[in-house]
Amino acid sequence: MDEPRPKTQKELAFAPLTTGEARPDKAEGTEPSAAKDDTESPANRALLMEEVCKRENLREALHRVRSNKGSPGVDGMTVDALAEHLKSHWPILRTQLLEGTYQPKSVKRVEIPKPDGGTRKLGVPTVQDRFVQQALMQVLQKRWDQTFSEHSYGFRPNRSAHQAVARAQQYIAEGCEWVVDLDLEKFFDRVNHDILMGRVAKRISDKRMLKLIRAFLNAGVMDNGLESPTEEGTPQGGPLSPLLSNLLLDELDRELENRGLRFVRYADDCNIYVRSERAGQRVMESVTRFITRRLKLKVNQSKSAVAQPGTRKFLGFSFTSGREPKRRIAPKALDRLKDRIREMTRRNRGISLEEMVEDLSRYLRGWKAYFGYCQTPSVLGHLDEWIRRRLRMVIWKQWKRGTTRYRELRKRGVPELCAGVTAGACHGPWRIAGSPAMAQAYRNTAFTLLGLPSLRGTTA
């Protein structure tokens, strides 16, 4: 056990560690073992708070909070100010954690738009509270993650959305041609605190940690200067919430496993794969009852459905029909991409072509890192063509006058007659952007030299 003594400033100069969502517990590519019901003995669990306060754990927590950035909480402290703050306040903070007297501040309410419309409510804890939550999460995840279901993929070390999509694809290829697509209505806002704390208490006996987790759940919300209590829900935005959500929904995983169902769950997004529509309807009714009665959560009937996988989206992907289903980008995800590119290439941005391509390239590289996992390269090829045409349209608009357009076309090797006809054409910018003259003036290689990556080829 660490002796509860004050840390010096030198000890709190935490060194950088590796970045990531969660600390890996296994070698890359391996899966956690099958879920188990037993947990460690009470004698070992009683010292968890001391482990939270160990220097190596704190160093990692500090590094992750700083690398995740994020906006200030209700106290206005920034992430960059956290390290200096801890140098002077850590002895008091450590004593409060070990004595079980730490009190988190209210979370700041922030609303962000959802891709499908509406808003999502986020709770932004203070930077210090995020640091404490991160330190707690690291200790608990190391113990709990190996007990979770192999069908759960969200917010877990060495697990990803791509793995979840691949597992769903495998079920479809095995003949499960119907999916029970479950959407939990406002899951993070509706989590029952008593049920959740009951699950936590079954796994740990350190009363200081139980009290601290309950305090984070009941910290309250600050919205437009008004503070209100939180009687249910785990605020999205805190490092601890994803782990607690996995703990609560692990009971759903157990139920589905006991029924012998094929399913994939990523956070609160759960798909169950069956062989017939009739079986799907039965599963939908019985699982909805279980979620409502046992977990005290609500299934969103308008967004949930029993359907063929090709008509639904799962983590931004859909699937083709046939004996060998392929991963494809869901239509809504394609629409969101095009809307974003239209915004980034709008006429009145007032920036140069080079700056526009630089902004666009950063976004496209991130988009491709995720959606490049699709198995429909022709779609990516069409997107490449569409994006380059958008840029040619921007260039055409920037040239403005007919004389400028003619001069620029000729400068770039377009024959005199073709340049004159194109510069004097009365067609709109989009049509001109697809003309042979603009294709010759700005070939694909010109955009490549500016740094524009290809979605179909290797990411630059």
pLDDT tens digits, 11-65: 444 434 333 334 444 433 333 443 444 444 443 445 889 999 999 999 999 999 9
Is the pLDDT score of 389 beyond 80? yes
Convert the pLDDT of each residue in 78-136 to its tens digit. 999 999 999 999 999 999 999 999 999 998 888 777 766 667 778 889 999 999 999 99
CA atoms within 13 A on the CB side of 450: 20
Cα(261)–Cα(234) distance, rounded to whole angstroms? Answer: 28
- Strands in 269-274's sheet, in edge-to-edge order, are 262-266, 269-274, 178-183, 305-307
Nearest Cα residue to 423 out of 396, 389, 391: 396
pLDDT range class, residue 160, cuts 50, 70, 90: very high
pLDDT range class, residue 220, cuts 50, 70, 90: confident
Convert the pLDDT of each residue in 305-335 to its tens digit. 999 999 999 999 999 988 899 999 999 999 9
What pLDDT, on the 0 to 100 scale, is given for residue 18?
37
Q: Which residues, other chains included, contact 394 with Cβ-Cβ below 8 Å and sequence gap of 6+?
A: 345, 347, 353, 356
Average pLDDT (209-236) is 80
What DSSP element (H or E) covers 113?
Answer: strand 107-113
Cα(39)–Cα(32) distance, rounded to whole angstroms? Answer: 15
What pLDDT, on the 0 to 100 scale, is given for residue 5?
45
What pLDDT, on the 0 to 100 scale, is given for residue 31?
38
| Residue that wins the pLDDT comparison between 110 and 343 | 343
Least confident piece of the model among 227-236, 270-279, 359-368: 227-236
Residue 285's φ and ψ, nearest 5 degrees, are: -65, -45
Query: Residue 180 in contact with residue 186, Cβ under 8 Å?
Result: no
Is the pLDDT score of 366 beyond 60? yes
Average pLDDT (193-213) is 93
Is the pLDDT score of 382 beyond 60? yes
Residue 98's φ and ψ, nearest 5 degrees, are: -70, -30
CB burial readout 267-301, b (16+ within 10 A) else e: bbbbbbbbeeeebbeebbeebbebbeeebebebee
What pLDDT, on the 0 to 100 scale, is given for residue 30?
37
Convert the pLDDT of each residue in 413-456 to its tens digit. 999 999 999 999 999 999 999 999 999 999 999 999 999 999 98
Is the pLDDT score of 265 beyond 60? yes
**Percentage of the chain exceeding pLDDT 70:** 86
Least confident piece of the model among 186-200, 220-234, 439-453: 220-234
| pLDDT, mean over the chain | 87
Is the pLDDT score of 192 beyond 70? yes
What pLDDT, on the 0 to 100 scale, is given for residue 292?
94
What pLDDT, on the 0 to 100 scale, is given for residue 189?
80
Is the pLDDT score of 274 beyond 50? yes
**Percentage of the chain exceeding pLDDT 90:** 74
What pLDDT, on the 0 to 100 scale, is given for residue 10?
41
